[in-house]
């Protein structure tokens, strides 16, 4: 799907995005983000960039682990999503939140940051929406500091045949119906979700792409019967 169509699609569902993520994942989405932060080996002083941040949920999950010497930037090319993220900063859980987190509009394919800047560069459920997967991961790798981590949380395809057949029924039939109904979306935004996941590389293929983009020690963990996976790669120290 072309970039402008993806931007329009997410703009249309921004107001319902967080509610539907929790509902359709049976509230597992928060757990997945917490586990992503954990495997990122983030430190209190870390500099974190979360690309395709959407409404900022993963960025804010990192914020909870930082002190005032660290910071998180959440970037996305969908302005309507970032508005929701900014609203969350007006109601911080702790006083540190406003001082360590910010959002900005940016395309993951052309990130407006210098090379070797961030200790962690993450993306949660967004990299499959980038029009050029390899270019997106190369940009994430470029702005990561030597020794830093590139972390990808994304839907994947379950490997257990029995569970996969049950999950696919929910994922391709029930989820799109409920998502489009609740969001009142006429462009089948929640039908796009399963279609994009089916076309996305499996865990081993994504690992290979990350390695081709210059990352080393790439590993992944499957979560919740294999419906999502967390990939972590390191940028070599030269």
Burial readout 192-218 (b: 16 or more C-beta within 10 A, e: otherwise): bbbeebeebeebeebbebbeebebeeb
Position 187 pLDDT exceeds 90 = no
pLDDT in tens, 142-172: 999 999 999 999 999 999 988 889 988 888 8
Euclidean distance between CA atoms 25 and 108, whole angstroms: 25
Of 36-40, 92-96, 186-190, 231-235, the least confident: 92-96
Can you tell me whether residue 110 is helix, strand or coil? Answer: helix
Sign of CA dihedral 85, 90, 93, 99: positive
Euclidean distance between CA atoms 102 and 156, whole angstroms: 29
Say if residues 52 and 73 touch (Cβ distance below 8 Å).
no
Mean pLDDT of all residues in 8-19? 76
Position 25 pLDDT exceeds 90 = no
pLDDT score, position 224? 94
Mean pLDDT of all residues in 96-112? 86
Mean pLDDT of all residues in 222-238? 95
On average, the pLDDT of the chain sits at 90
**What residues does each domain of the chain span?**
3-156+202-234
Structure tokens at 192: 């796009």
Euclidean distance between CA atoms 122 and 13, whole angstroms: 22
CATH number of 3-156+202-234: 3.40.50.150
pLDDT in tens, 75-93: 999 999 999 999 988 875 5
Please spell the DSSP secondary structure of 162-182, one letter per residue.
HHHHHHHHIIIIIHHHHHHHH
Share of the chain above pLDDT 70, in %: 95
Total residues belonging to the chain = 238
Phi and psi at residue 228, to the nearest 5°: -135, 160
pLDDT in tens, 30-67: 999 999 999 999 999 999 999 999 999 999 999 989 99
Helices 3-13, 189-199: crossing angle, 10 deg rounding: 130
Mean pLDDT of all residues in 129-150? 97
pLDDT score, position 95? 46
pLDDT score, position 178? 84
* CA distances (Å), origin 61, targets 40, 66, 69, 103: 12, 10, 16, 14
Sign of CA dihedral 26, 30, 152, 54: positive
């Amino acid at each position: 799907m072309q970039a402008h169509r993806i931007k329009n699609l997410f703009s249309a569902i921004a107001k319902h995005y967080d509610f539907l993520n929790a509902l359709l994942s049976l509230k597992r989405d928060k757990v997945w983000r917490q586990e992503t932060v954990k495997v990122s080996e983030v430190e209190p002083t870390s500099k974190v960039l979360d690309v395709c941040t959407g409404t900022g949920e993963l960025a804010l999950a990192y914020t909870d682990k930082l002190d005032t010497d660290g910071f998180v930037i959440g970037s996305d090319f969908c302005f309507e999503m970032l508005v929701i993220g900014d609203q969350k900063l007006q109601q911080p859980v702790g006083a540190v939140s406003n001082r360590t987190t910010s959002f900005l509009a940016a395309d993951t394919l052309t990130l407006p940051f210098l090379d070797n800047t961030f200790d962690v560069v993450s993306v949660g459920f967004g990299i499959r929406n980038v029009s050029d997967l390899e270019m997106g991961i190369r940009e994430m790798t470029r702005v990561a500091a030597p020794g830093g981590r590139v972390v990808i949380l994304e839907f994947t395809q379950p490997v257990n045949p029995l569970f996969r057949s049950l999950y696919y029924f929910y994922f391709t039939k029930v989820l799109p119906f409920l998502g489009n109904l609740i969001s009142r979306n006429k462009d089948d935004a929640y039908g796009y979700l399963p279609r994009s996941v089916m076309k996305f590389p499996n865990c081993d293929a994504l690992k290979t792409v990350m390695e081709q983009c210059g990352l080393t020690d790439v590993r992944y963990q499957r979560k919740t019967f294999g419906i999502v996976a967390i990939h972590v790669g390191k940028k070599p120290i030269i």
